[in-house]
């Protein structure tokens, strides 16, 4: 028996389960419906004057149920009172209808209505009261309960029949009730699973998240949010957005107020100061408002991302875009942008363009690290020198530019101050390094393009560099011609180096003649340029561009290779060929290895037949250990000539310290030698000193018969100059060389 009851209990709906607000809403509906039924029954009874007592008793019994259903505080007792009220109202309606069968339908309606409670107490009370009504009243007042003779004769039977019918109707309600509970349990299980998933997603995500009520109360936070803001795991119930330890920086409307005011999801980026340690952070806030069906804001879901590192990285990138990474000065792009803004103000602007003199030698000789140290030290000095508010930028390499607003006199004065500041050596890694700069100044008023004024200042700077450097030049329109010439020369040289080198950059040769035999003993290789239209240009038109752009290195390599090829070709007729080596070439780290490779590629060539001419200027400008490098060249067997001797400040010192084989007297000592006894004395002294040091001597620039005779009389072993022959193309030089005749003044000019 107990097992059966347990089985039945498990299959029947449990009842209850409604939330308080849902149950209260249903109870109000049923109580109101009962009151309406009372009114309806009263109106119906009033239309039947012979049923006055029945109507009175019905109202007297139902009205207390309505009152009790309203005033009683106990939830289940309220529902039972309403259920009894419906039973009395239905019974009264049947009695007022004189037991009309159709009136009994009201019981079926009432049982369906009372099923809304989903509670066995009111439901069972109604079923019991209904069965008792049919049984008791069917016996005592059969004519008011049933409208046919058989029911009146057997009231208990018909009471059972009516009770069973009501129970069957109730049974289907119970089934529906049970199915509803099953569906609700499944829905609750699904809801709990979804909530569990949401809780895991919400609580375990590493992104700080929180939910706020419209009044600012914090409804829920995840662990990441609490860890980020250093909050306790359990927050007070009244904890609100005003208690969050963040204070907005420069914000008129708080992020929370903006989120409340917006009906759509919004993303905000704000800077905050932490109240616990005062640090500044950048936060990206994403807020999503949720509204109910009544369009009322229920809560705001927000997740926060601390983007301080990313923001700092972006700021650093922007700073790098605006500033040169090496010196910290403005970059080219930032300078051009700021200069455009300065020019837009329609006031005079001066641009000062400066370039470090012989900076390439520093880089090539001491390395790029040392060059970077020089640029940083120079930048610091410039920053201290230029006036406040001026633009100071590094354009690249060793080029700097300054722009300042004001009359042209201010720009000129600032340029002079910069030049004067370079009078003191730079402190570079603890060493005092003298550095000079070439400066160009240009002034403009309301220029439309920044490039114009910068190019003008660059043009003036180039003029200063051409004038020897360590000076300042103010831009003048006439300077543009030289700039165009420089650009054209550079373009021509690049085109020539990219072409067929023996054709575009041929070598010409000038003979070196023995003063004793009159024979050609050697030749100096001199480069020429052939333009696309066939014109031959002297080095004057391209050597300067080659030196400034660094193209002197590939040009020098070509001259050296071509000279060796000609030397091999004239092997039995020409003693040696000399080749000029520029300061830039000499400073190249791979110059000596490449020279060694060239000699190794021609094992039949006597290295002594190759002479490298080094000027005293090259020796002074080079930052490498000249003596060691020249000694290495000597060990290869190549001879060295000291070119343009006498034009420097310490020529006699170089004779002693440089392992030269040949001294070439500069043309300034040779011209007018016959008429100038002082020059004759100097040349005699140099000849004696060279012989005592085991060196040979060549006099350059011999153009007069008297100078030729004087050099022979002084004992100069060899001469070179237009008196014998200007530089000639290889074909003409070969014809002269292979003729085998002495080259004498008499033969040269007959």
* Segment holding 552, helix H or strand E: helix 552-569
Q: Which pLDDT belongs to residue 748?
A: 42
Dihedral of CA 597/601/605/606: which sign? positive
Structure-token pair, residue 546: 């080659």
pLDDT tens-digit readout, 100-136: 777 777 887 887 787 777 777 777 788 788 777 776 7
Do 436 and 363 share a domain, yes or no?
A: yes
Opening angle at CA 59, ends 57 and 63, nearest 5: 130
Opening angle at CA 372, ends 370 and 373, nearest 5: 65
In a domain, 109, yes or no: yes
- Backbone φ and ψ for 290, nearest 5 degrees, come out as -120, 125
Q: Which pLDDT belongs to residue 565?
A: 94
In a domain, 248, yes or no: yes
Residues 6+ apart with CB under 8 A from 24: none
Do 663 and 578 share a domain, yes or no?
A: yes
Q: Which pLDDT belongs to residue 637?
A: 94
Do 602 and 466 share a domain, yes or no?
A: no
In a domain, 540, yes or no: yes
683: CATH:
3.20.20.450
Q: Minimal CA–CA distance to 306: which of 277, 272, 259, 265?
A: 272
In a domain, 749, yes or no: no
Token look-up 């006055």 returns 52
Q: Which pLDDT belongs to residue 746?
A: 38
In a domain, 484, yes or no: no
Question: What is the side-by-side strand order in the sheet with 391-396?
Answer: 391-396, 399-405, 348-356, 437-445, 472-474
Per the structure, how many domains does the chain have?
4
Its domain, for residue 716, covers 490-738
**Which of these three, 282, 312, 342, is where a domain ends?**
312
Q: How far, in Å, CA of 199 to CA of 209, rounded?
A: 12
Do 289 and 376 share a domain, yes or no?
A: no
Q: Which pLDDT belongs to residue 430?
A: 76
274: CATH:
3.30.450.20
pLDDT tens-digit readout, 610-657: 999 987 655 655 545 677 888 899 999 999 998 877 665 445 666 666
Structure-token pair, residue 440: 């160009």
Counting as low any pLDDT under 50, the low residues of the chain are 1, 8-11, 623, 649-650, 746-750
Do 359 and 219 share a domain, yes or no?
A: no
Q: Which pLDDT belongs to residue 363?
A: 62
Do 603 and 506 share a domain, yes or no?
A: yes
Q: How far, in Å, CA of 701 to CA of 464, rounded?
A: 29
pTM exceeding the 0.75 threshold for the entire prediction: no
Cα separation values, 355 from 12, 146, 371, Å: 99, 123, 13
Do 395 and 472 share a domain, yes or no?
A: yes
Beta bridge partners of 512: 522
Do 555 and 421 share a domain, yes or no?
A: no
In a domain, 74, yes or no: yes
Q: Which pLDDT belongs to residue 586?
A: 84
Q: Is 44 exposed, middle or buried (0-12, 13-18, 19+ CB in 10 A)?
A: middle
Do 539 and 681 share a domain, yes or no?
A: yes
Token look-up 């209260």 returns 24
Beta bridge partners of 642: 614, 663
Structure-token pair, residue 74: 């106990």
429: CATH:
3.30.70.270
**Half-sphere exposure in the Cβ direction for 265 (13 Å, CA):** 7
In a domain, 750, yes or no: no
**Which of these three, 280, 312, 344, is where a domain ends?**
312
**Which of these three, 167, 182, 197, is where a domain ends?**
182
In a domain, 40, yes or no: yes
Q: Which pLDDT belongs to residue 677?
A: 83
Q: Which pLDDT belongs to residue 629?
A: 83
- Backbone φ and ψ for 510, nearest 5 degrees, come out as -115, 125
Q: Which pLDDT belongs to residue 238?
A: 84
SS (H, E, C) 476-528: CCCHHHHHHHHHHHHHHHHHHHCCCHHHHCCEEEEEEEECCCCCEEEEEEEEC
Do 628 and 546 share a domain, yes or no?
A: yes
Do 604 and 508 share a domain, yes or no?
A: yes
Q: Which pLDDT belongs to residue 698?
A: 94
Do 530 and 384 share a domain, yes or no?
A: no
């Amino acid at each position: 028996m107990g097992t059966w009851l347990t089985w039945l209990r498990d299959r029947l709906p449990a009842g209850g389960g409604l939330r308080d607000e849902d149950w209260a809403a249903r109870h109000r509906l049923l109580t109101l419906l009962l009151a309406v039924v009372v009114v309806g029954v009263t109106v119906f009874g009033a239309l039947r004057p012979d049923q006055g007592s029945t109507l009175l008793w019905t109202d007297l019994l139902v009205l207390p149920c309505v009152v009790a259903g309203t005033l009683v505080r106990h939830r289940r007792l309220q529902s039972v009172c309403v259920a009894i009220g419906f039973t009395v109202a239905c019974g009264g309606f049947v009695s007022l209808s004189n037991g009309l069968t159709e009136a009994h339908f009201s019981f079926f309606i009432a049982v369906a209505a009372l099923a809304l409670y989903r509670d066995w107490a009111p439901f069972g009370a109604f079923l019991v009261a209904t069965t008792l009504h049919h049984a008791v009243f069917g016996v005592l007042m059969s004519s008011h309960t049933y409208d046919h003779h058989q029911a009146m004769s057997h009231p208990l039977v018909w009471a059972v029949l009516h009770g069973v019918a009501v129970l069957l109707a109730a049974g289907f309600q119970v089934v529906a009730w049970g199915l509803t509970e099953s569906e609700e349990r499944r829905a609750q299980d699904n809801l709990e699973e979804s909530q569990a998933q949401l809780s895991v997603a919400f609580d375990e995500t590493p992104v700080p998240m929180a939910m706020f009520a419209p009044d600012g109360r914090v409804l829920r936070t995840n662990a990441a949010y609490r860890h980020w803001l250093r909050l306790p795991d359990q927050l007070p119930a009244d904890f609100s957005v005003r208690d969050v330890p963040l204070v907005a920086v420069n914000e008129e409307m708080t992020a929370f107020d903006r989120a409340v005011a917006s009906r759509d999801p919004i993303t905000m980026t704000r800077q905050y100061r932490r109240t616990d340690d005062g640090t500044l952070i950048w936060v990206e806030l994403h807020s999503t408002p949720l509204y109910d069906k009544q369009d009322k804001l229920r809560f705001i879901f927000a997740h926060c991302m601390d983007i301080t590192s990313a923001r700092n990285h972006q700021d650093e990138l922007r700073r790098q875009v605006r500033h040169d990474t090496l010196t910290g000065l403005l970059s080219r792009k930032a300078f051009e942008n700021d200069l455009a803004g300065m020019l837009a103000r329609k006031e005079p602007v001066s641009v000062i363009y400066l370039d470090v003199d012989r900076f390439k030698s520093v880089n090539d000789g001491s390395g790029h690290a040392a060059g970077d140290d020089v640029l940083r030290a120079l930048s610091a000095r410039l920053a201290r020198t230029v006036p406040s508010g001026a633009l100071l930028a590094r354009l690249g390499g060793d080029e700097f530019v300054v722009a300042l607003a004001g009359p042209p006199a201010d720009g000129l004065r600032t340029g002079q101050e910069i030049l004067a500041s370079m009078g003191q050596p730079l402190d570079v890694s603890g060493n005092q390094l003298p550095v000079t700069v070439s400066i160009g100044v240009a002034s403009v008023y309301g220029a439309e393009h920044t490039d114009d004024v910068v190019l003008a200042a660059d043009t003036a700077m180039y003029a200063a560099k051409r004038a020897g450097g360590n000076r300042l030049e103010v831009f003048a329109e006439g300077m543009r011609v030289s700039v165009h010439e420089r650009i054209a020369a550079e373009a021509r040289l690049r085109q020539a180096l990219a072409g067929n080198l023996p054709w575009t950059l041929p070598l010409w040769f000038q003979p070196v003649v023995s003063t004793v035999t009159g024979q050609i003993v050697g030749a100096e290789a001199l480069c020429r340029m052939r333009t696309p239209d066939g014109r031959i240009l002297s080095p004057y038109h391209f050597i300067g561009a080659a030196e400034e752009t660094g193209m002197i290195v590939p040009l020098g390599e070509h001259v050296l290779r071509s000279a060796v090829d000609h030397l091999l070709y004239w092997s039995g007729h020409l003693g040696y060929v000399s080749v000029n080596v520029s300061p830039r070439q000499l400073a190249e780290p791979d110059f000596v290895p490449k020279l060694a490779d060239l000699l190794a590629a021609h094992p039949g060539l006597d290295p002594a037949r190759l002479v490298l001419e080094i000027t005293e200027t090259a020796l002074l400008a080079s930052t490498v250990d000249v003596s060691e490098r020249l000694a290495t060249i000597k060990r290869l067997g190549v001879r060295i000539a000291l070119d343009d001797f006498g034009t420097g400040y310490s020529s006699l010192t170089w004779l002693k310290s440089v392992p030269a084989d040949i001294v070439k007297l500069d043309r300034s000592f040779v011209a007018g030698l016959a008429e100038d006894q002082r020059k004759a004395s100097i040349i005699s002294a140099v000849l004696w000193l060279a012989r005592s040091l085991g060196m040979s001597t060549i006099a350059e620039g011999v153009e007069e018969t008297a100078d030729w005779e004087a050099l022979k009389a002084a004992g100069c072993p060899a001469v070179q100059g237009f008196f014998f022959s200007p530089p000639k193309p290889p074909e003409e030089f070969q014809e002269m060389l292979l003729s085998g005749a002495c080259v004498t003044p008499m033969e040269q000019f007959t």
